Chain A
Amino acid sequence: GIQVEQSPPDLILQEGANSTLRCNFSDSVNNLQWFHQNPWGQLINLFYIPSGTKQNGRLSATTVATERYSLLYISSSQTTDSGVYFCAVPLTISSGSARQLTFGSGTQLTVLP
């Protein structure tokens, strides 16, 4: 199956700093999702980004599907940005159109005040 690798595994920042999280995947994909898992476990959708660049406030993401990677940028980080960031890519299930997500192991981000 497809492999998804995220780096770095851990990241500690001072409030206000910028950061870049990376997601590499082993096979061609036609979409990709970024999530933020808060300390209570809730997975929050950040981006659905098959290709190109999207921005939402202080966050932006870029996916280069031909080179099999995606980047998540966090600017002017805040303590509320702390948590685990996951990327996930779908595996088309042969019997239909529902698509299992294959997750990376995540990047644990800690933003210090």
Chain B
Amino acid sequence: DGGITQSPKYLFRKEGQNVTLSCEQNLNHDAMYWYRQDPGQGLRLIYYSQIVNDFQKGDIAEGYSVSREKKESFPLTVTSAQKNPTAFYLCASSIDGTSGIPSTLSSYNEQFFGPGTRLTVL
């Protein structure tokens, strides 16, 4: 089945440790995104990537790092520099790449989300 998978579902981290969250998609989408959700709030963008080997910071990138070595994969590392890492992390993807397709074409811009990873710092 086509879709977006995230692992692990739950993750516990001790203070001072780095942890890496996995996000894989088999939808052949160019663009991938990482969002963070805190209780009772909407999602905020951490990082995004339009194509392989390229990624850009979102609104709350401090304390996080990413890589995009393969089209299918966009792992997120939560570093010890992130002051409040306990949150729900969601990965998304869209067909949208750098082809310049107008934004009104839904099939290129609609974002689809994985099931999420709940990170708790102990």
Chain A residues near B (Cβ < 8 Å): 4, 30-31, 33, 35, 40-43, 45, 48, 50, 86, 88, 90, 92-93, 95-101, 103-106
Is the pair B112, A105 in contact by a Cβ cutoff of 8 Å? no
Contacts of B90 in A (CB 8 A): 41, 43
Counting from the closest, the 9 A-B pairs by CB-CB distance are: A103-B42, A43-B113, A98-B50, A98-B31, A48-B106, A48-B110, A41-B116, A103-B43, A100-B45
Contacts of A48 in B (CB 8 A): 106, 109-110
In the assembled complex, how far is the CB of residue A85 from the closest CB belonging to chain B, in whole angstroms?
11
Besides A96-B50, A101-B111, 10 other A-B contacts (C-beta < 8 A):
A33-B111, A45-B113, A48-B109, A88-B42, A97-B99, A98-B33, A98-B56, A99-B109, A101-B35, A103-B42
Which listed residue (B50, B97, B110) contacts A45, Cβ 8 A? B110
Q: How many A-B pairs with Cβ below 8 Å?
A: 85
Chain B residues near A (Cβ < 8 Å): 31, 33, 35, 37, 40-45, 48-50, 56, 58-59, 88, 90, 92, 94, 96-101, 103-104, 106, 109-113, 115-116, 118
Contacts of B44 in A (CB 8 A): 103
Given contacts A31-B109, A97-B98, A99-B96, contact A42 B103 (CB under 8 A): no
Given contacts A41-B118, A96-B50, contact A105 B41 (CB under 8 A): yes
The docked-state distance in angstroms from the alpha carbon of A86 to that of B113 is 13
Is the pair B56, A30 in contact by a Cβ cutoff of 8 Å? no
Which listed residue (A86, A97, A101) contacts B103, Cβ 8 A? A97
The docked-state distance in angstroms from the alpha carbon of A93 to that of B103 is 11
Which listed residue (B41, B88, B106) contacts A31, Cβ 8 A? B106
The docked-state distance in angstroms from the alpha carbon of A43 to that of B97 is 22
Which listed residue (A30, A33, A95, A101) contacts B104, Cβ 8 A? A30
In the assembled complex, how far is the CB of residue A53 from the closest CB belonging to chain B, in whole angstroms?
15
